[in-house]
Amino acid sequence: MEQVIAKVAGQLVKSRHAIALTGAGLSTESGIPDFRGPNGIWTKNPEAERQAYESYYKFQRDPRQYWVESLTGASWLTALFKARPNAGHDALAQLESLSILKCVVTQNIDNLHQKAGSKKVLDYHGNISLLRCFECNARFDPEEYDLERLLAQNRLPPLCRRCNGVLKSDVVHFNEAIPPDVARESLEEVERCDLMLICGTSATVYPFAMLPRTAKQNNYRQKTVIIEINADPTPLTREGISDDLLQGKTGEILPRILEEVQKLKAAGR
């Protein structure tokens, strides 16, 4: 493992445009369960996953009721607001401040990359700290809307200040399209990258899981080094999409990679 960590650090320092793709495994060390790991939310409660598939249809059928349930029902999302970044998030933010990591494309909605100080973050599945207009895709800080007052006055759903469209959470529900701006920019980053760290994702949910495969397919014109950091092997490992799997906790491995990168930078490499 130590040899591979040293090799990856060298590849990162030499890279021209390194990016990180992240999933729920990165946030488990912040106390947020993942979905499909041994203690995953869907693993332990398949009914919760089935209901999650309903959310988008509920919104389309009756946005007012969607909002009433969002504001009055208990939700596992509440815990996300209190969570703090862990050493894995911090290491990625520091690799960005060293101008080595250019972008994070995350499936996580918990805003922990931003809390850790990462500047260029593409929230592929949205972000719990934002509202998004279903019509024009404009995003708003919930603080701009007194949602509790709208609930009390029976004036839900909140409406877009730009086009008067209906607002929903920025979180992308199952069967909902990835916001077009994020989808486009993520693909641009994947097309451009020559090194991709894939941290804490089972790589089973599309279209996100297509991104590493797209990078691999582009190898004919530009070799992209693909490194997985994950507790378990994934389909990317088994299909030979990733060049290396650093098997273990992202909160331990990413800081070790950062340490080796800092040593190389200090030695003027």
Strands 131-133 and 225-230: unpaired
Helix, strand and coil content of the chain, in percent to the nearest 5, comes to 45, 15, 40
Rounded to whole angstroms, the Cα distance separating 215 from 205 reads: 17
- Residue nearest ligand APR by beta-carbon distance: 25
Characterize the bridge pairing of strands 101-106 and 121-123: parallel
The vertex-113 CA angle with 119 and 86, nearest 5°, equals 135
Q: How far is the CB of 78 from ligand APR (least distance, A)?
A: 17
Which residue, 111 or 156, has its beta carbon nearer to ligand APR?
A: 111
Minimum CB separation of residue 265 from ligand APR in Å reads: 25
Q: In this complex, which beta carbon is closest to ligand APR, that of residue 194 or of residue 252?
A: 252
CB of 115 to ligand APR, least distance (A): 17
**Six-digit token string for 175:** 């069967």
Phi (first) and psi of residue 166, to 5 degrees: -80, 135
Q: Which residues of the shown chain bind ligand APR in the complex (CB under 6 A)?
A: 23-25, 28-29, 34-37, 40, 107, 125, 200-202, 204-205, 230-232, 234, 249-251
Strands annotated E in 79-134: 101-106, 121-123, 131-133
What distance in Å separates the CA atoms of residue 166 and residue 158, rounded to the nearest whole number? 6
In degrees, rounded to 5, the angle at the alpha carbon of residue 90 between the alpha carbons of residues 127 and 232 is 80
Count other C-beta atoms under 10 Å from residue 258's C-beta.
23
Cα–Cα distance between 216 and 239 in angstroms, integer? 11
Question: Least Å distance between CB 173 and ligand APR?
Answer: 9
89 given a catalytic annotation:
no
| Beta carbon nearer to ligand APR, 50 or 155 | 50
* Residue 46, preceding peptide bond in cis (omega within 30° of 0): no
Nearest distance from residue 200's CB to ligand APR, in Å? 4
- Min dist CB 216 to ligand APR, Å, is 18
Which is closer to ligand APR, CB of 35 or CB of 67?
Answer: 35
Q: Which is nearer to ligand APR, 53 or 81 (CB)?
A: 53
Question: Which one of the listed residues 17, 89, 113, 125 is annotated catalytic?
Answer: 125
Cα–Cα dist 264/121, whole Å: 26
Residues classed as catalytic: 125
